[in-house]
A and B are shown apart, each in its own frame.
Chain A
Amino acid sequence: MSRIYDTIEPNVIDQEMLQKAVEEQGPQEEAGQLAKREGIDFKDVTELQLDFRNILKIDNLWQFANLTKLQLDNNIIEKIEALGSLVHLVWLDLSFNNIETIEGLHALVKLQDLSLYNNRISKIENMDTLQELQIFSIGNNNLTSLENVAYLRKFSKLRTLNLAGNPLCDNEQYSMFIAAHLPDLVYLDFRLVDENTRELAEIKYQYAIDELKQGEAQALAKLEEEQAKQKELDYHKAAYVEYLNGPFLFESMYAEDAEANKLAYLPGIPDLLETYRNKFESVCEKLFAYGLEQYEKRQAEVSTFYKCLQEALAANQEQGTKIILEFENQNVGLLEVVQDTSSFDIAETKLAKYNDDIIQLSDTLMTLEMQTVDQLEEIIKDFERNIADLVSTFIENVQGMMAQCRDLENHHHEKLLEISINTLEKIVKSEFEEEIPDDVRMLFVDKDTIVNAVNASHDIHLLKIDNREDDIITKANSWQAAVIEEVHKNEMARNRSRVKEINQYKDHLQKELDNLESLEPVE
Chain B
Amino acid sequence: MEALRENEAEEKEEEKKAFKIIVLGNNLRDCPIEFDWSSIDTSQLPASYKINSAKEKMMLHIAANFCRQYTHLCPDRKELFLHPLNECGVEKFVSTTVRPTLLPYPELYNWDGCARFVSDYLTMEPLPNPIEPPSCLFSPTTILKYQRGNCFDFSMLLCSLLIGVGYDAYCVYGYATREMCMMDETREVCPLLKKSKEAQKETVKEKTEKYAVKPPRDLRSKFELQQAAKKEAEIQVAKQKKQEEEEERIMEAEKPKPDSLYGLRVHAWVLILSGKREVPESFFIDPFTAKSYSTTDGHFLGIEALWNHVNYWVNMQSCLNGCKDLIFDLGNPLRWEFMLLGADKPLLLLPNEEEEEELADEDLDNLDKEEEEKGSDMPPSWVEPIQISLKEFETRCPQGKKVIHYKKAKLEKWAPYLNSNGLVERLTVFEDQDCTKVLEVRQWFKNREDLLEMRQVNKITEVTTEYFSPGHVLGLKAHVYKSTNPETERTMEFYNETRVDGLQKRVENACEMTEYFVGRSDFLYYRHTNFGKRTKRVDLFLWSNPRLAQIKECFHRNLEKPANEDVVERIFMISEERILLTYHLQENYITASKREFIKRADVDNKGNKIIMTPDMCLSYQVGSSQEDKKLIHLYKMMLKLMEEEKHLKHQVWESGTEVLEILKIREEEEGASKLTVSIYDTERNEKGKKQREAMERQMQEERQRQDEQDLDYLAPFIIQMGNIEKMTKWQALRLKEDCLTDFKYRLIDKANIIQVRFEKETQELQKKQQWYQQNQLSMTVEDEEAYITYCSDAMFRIRILEMRLNRHKETAPQKYIALEEKLCKDPRLSEYLKLYA
Q: Which residues of A contact B (CB under 8 A)?
A: 27, 30-31, 33-35, 38, 40-41, 44, 304-305, 307-309, 311-313, 315, 317, 320-321, 323-324, 365, 371-372, 375-376, 378-379, 382-383, 494, 497-498, 500-501, 504-505, 508, 512
Contact = CB atoms under 8 A, between A and B. Distances in A.
B591 interface: yes
Given A34-B612, A35-B632, A494-B588, A378 B622 contact: no
Nearest to A306: B211
Contacts of B622: 501, 504
3 tightest CB-CB pairs across the interface, nearest first?
A: A320-B590, A308-B211, A375-B213
30 contacts: A27-B636, A30-B635, A31-B639, A34-B612, A34-B631, A34-B632, A35-B632, A38-B632, A40-B632, A304-B210, A304-B211, A308-B210, A308-B211, A308-B213, A309-B211, A311-B212, A317-B588, A317-B589, A317-B590, A324-B591, A365-B590, A372-B213, A375-B216, A378-B214, A379-B211, A498-B588, A501-B590, A501-B623, A504-B591, A505-B591
Contacts of B618: 512
B209 interface: yes
A179 B214 CA distance: 68
A238 to B, nearest CB: 22
Interface in B458-503: none
Which of B211, B611, B623 has the most chain A CB within a 10 Å cutoff? B211
Contact of A304 (B209, B623, B632): B209
Contact of A508 (B612, B620, B630, B639): B620
Contacts of B209: 304, 307-308, 311
Contacts of B143: none
B585 interface: yes
Contacts of A512: 618
A512 B618 CA distance: 9
User: Is chain B's interface secondary structure helix, strand, loop, or mixed overall?
Assistant: loop
Given A30-B611, A304-B209, A497 B588 contact: yes
Interface of B: 209-214, 216, 585, 588-591, 609, 611-612, 618, 620, 622-623, 630-632, 635-636, 639
Nearest to B615: A515
Contacts of A33: 611
Contacts of B585: 317, 321
Contacts of A501: 589-591, 622-623
Given A317-B590, A505-B591, A497 B213 contact: no
B576 to A, nearest CB: 9
Contacts of A505: 591, 620
Contacts of A383: 211
User: Is chain A's interface secondary structure helix, strand, loop, or mixed overall?
Assistant: helix
Contact of A38 (B212, B589, B630, B639): B630
Nearest to B217: A371
Contacts of A30: 609, 611, 635
Contact of A31 (B211, B213, B636): B636
Contact of B212 (A41, A312, A494, A504): A312
A362 to B, nearest CB: 11
A312 B215 CA distance: 10
A238 B90 CA distance: 96
A320 B585 CA distance: 12
Which of B588, B609, B631 has the most chain A CB within a 10 Å cutoff? B588
B249 to A, nearest CB: 45
B632 A27 contact: yes
Given A35-B632, A38-B630, A312-B213, 14 more contacts: A34-B611, A41-B630, A305-B211, A308-B210, A311-B212, A312-B212, A317-B589, A323-B590, A324-B590, A375-B213, A378-B214, A383-B211, A501-B589, A504-B622
Contacts of B623: 497, 500-501, 504
B204 to A, nearest CB: 14
A92 to B, nearest CB: 24
Contact of A34 (B212, B214, B589, B635): B635
A137 to B, nearest CB: 30
A321 to B, nearest CB: 5
Contacts of A317: 585, 588-590
A305 B211 CA distance: 6
Nearest to A313: B588
B217 to A, nearest CB: 10
